[in-house]
Chain A
């Protein structure tokens, strides 16, 4: 419920500038079709900019801030939706104004869109919109799926786009009555600029902790588990959290100093961190060969997967797919370290035995934890997980808190089964890999 309140607050905040604009409106703003189009054109501009600035404000990734949104992936989802609606409204904005001007002829409509070059206000708006189309095209797969690093690089154009959009608005001024114009936009701009300043200046200085690779294990040929020893400062986190990790090993074939999100597989009780990484892209493939002794930086923690990471308050069912086992492995290691009882069922779905990573340790942990049950599900033998399978593996599963972490199709499938068995949405918790 708290996560919903946080999301709702953001959307209501976006309405504030719109309300101020509406306060300055009169009946004449709807007197004719042209006036109505003009009114809508101005409103879409104001609402679109408000959403853009809030999306920027949410991009800061301040550790802890994501908690009230139900974790960083949920926060990214809100950021993504804000960006989408901002683009939609800002695409409508100039077209509506031009159509409104068309009441005085196509020439006027044309000059509204393409005024003389000296018209800084209009051209800064144009430039901001073009930059938005460029940096949002990969996010919405306009031209296919982007790779992560290119997407991230292109997304940096959001900075100049936001600044140009602000120039556009401050130049036109008087979008709202009197002093409210400067006050409201300054507040929103402050949030956005503060977020970007955190991301690119402060987070690098104080947000990133230095660690050193002290051990490298290979639980499978395409998976590495790193053990990291802390430098001066130690990360405080909970089981199931994830971090952004950047490796600084010059010998790496790819991904030097690039940060990527990975789940921590260690118990917070351990002195160091453990991170299991599957080779899924260029950087995660290269990191398989990282050298012991090399430096990494860690920023976080993020995410809020488990409701009570330190104990099992109500019986739970966990469903993991492939490398999605990592948050559950972390929790099992943690419950064992705390000597807590663990009334939980783990259904671990993999393609075949060769891909049953960490199986030996999982079996040992399952035996050591009181009330814990481990079920392996092999896709090549049993096909997709069925509702009957879940019911036979875990007879009272519809009474349990359900946690799912794995590829999107598995995630959706288990959610469908849980809903069909009458599990309310509030008891289904998922951790998604895909941020786009």
Chain B
């Protein structure tokens, strides 16, 4: 038991330092898609995608199509459905109880980015 816990203890710090080391060397990752070349949608267009059949959301000025992701989200579909076609930054930042989504979730939404909100 003593050997096993000690091995895990060493492996833990090795893994954490590896992740920190890779991060330090891999600064390119920080340049995220900023949506410059993506189409701009008006609120009228966005608001039409307000159901589970087609669910668009606006988070920090960017438009995401989460239709395919909803079945994979940890909560029942109704939780995400209520934000379809709406400004959803607050929902993303607070989950409704003051707790932000994880960095992994924030990274994951980039896969669903479809455009930006048109300035009116």
Binding site for B on A (CB under 8 A): 24, 28-29, 31, 35, 38, 80-81, 84, 87-88, 91-92, 94-95, 97-115, 119, 121, 133, 136, 140-142, 171-174
Contact = CB atoms under 8 A, between A and B. Distances in A.
B1 A140 contact: yes
A121 B23 contact: no
Contact of A91 (B9, B29, B72): B9
Contacts, number: 95
A84 B19 contact: no
Contacts of B71: 28
Contacts of A94: 16
B30 A107 contact: yes
B9 A95 contact: no
A91 B104 CA distance: 19
6 contacts: A98-B16, A106-B19, A108-B104, A109-B23, A113-B16, A133-B9
B78 interface: no
B90 interface: no
Q: Which of A80, A81, A106 has the most CB of B within 10 A?
A: A106
Interface of B: 1-2, 4-6, 8-9, 11-12, 15-16, 19-20, 22-23, 26, 29-30, 71-72, 74, 97, 99-100, 102-104, 106-108, 110
B23 A107 contact: yes
A105 B30 CA distance: 9
A380 B23 CA distance: 63
A100 B104 contact: yes
B14 to A, nearest CB: 10
A31 B72 contact: yes
A111 B100 CA distance: 13
A107 B1 contact: no
A92 B2 CA distance: 16
Nearest to A133: B9
Q: Lowest 8 CB-CB distances: which A-B pairs, in order? A: A104-B107, A110-B23, A111-B103, A101-B104, A107-B29, A108-B107, A28-B72, A91-B12
B29 A105 contact: yes
Given A28-B71, A111-B103, A119-B100, A102 B19 contact: yes
Residue of B19, B20, B74 with most chain A CB atoms under a 10 A cut-off: B19
A100 B15 CA distance: 13
A79 to B, nearest CB: 13
Contacts of B1: 80-81, 84, 140
Given A31-B72, A95-B15, A106-B26, A173 B8 contact: no
A48 to B, nearest CB: 12
Given A35-B72, A105-B107, 11 more contacts: A38-B104, A87-B5, A94-B16, A103-B104, A105-B29, A107-B29, A109-B22, A110-B23, A133-B9, A140-B2, A140-B5
B19 A109 contact: yes
A254 to B, nearest CB: 28
Contacts of A107: 23, 26, 29-30, 107
A173 B26 contact: no
Nearest to B102: A112
B103 A108 contact: yes
B108 A104 contact: yes
Nearest to B22: A106
Contacts of A35: 72
Contacts of B9: 87, 91, 133, 142
A142 B26 contact: no
A107 B22 CA distance: 8
A171 B99 contact: yes
A56 to B, nearest CB: 18
B6 A140 contact: yes
A136 B22 CA distance: 29
Nearest to A137: B9
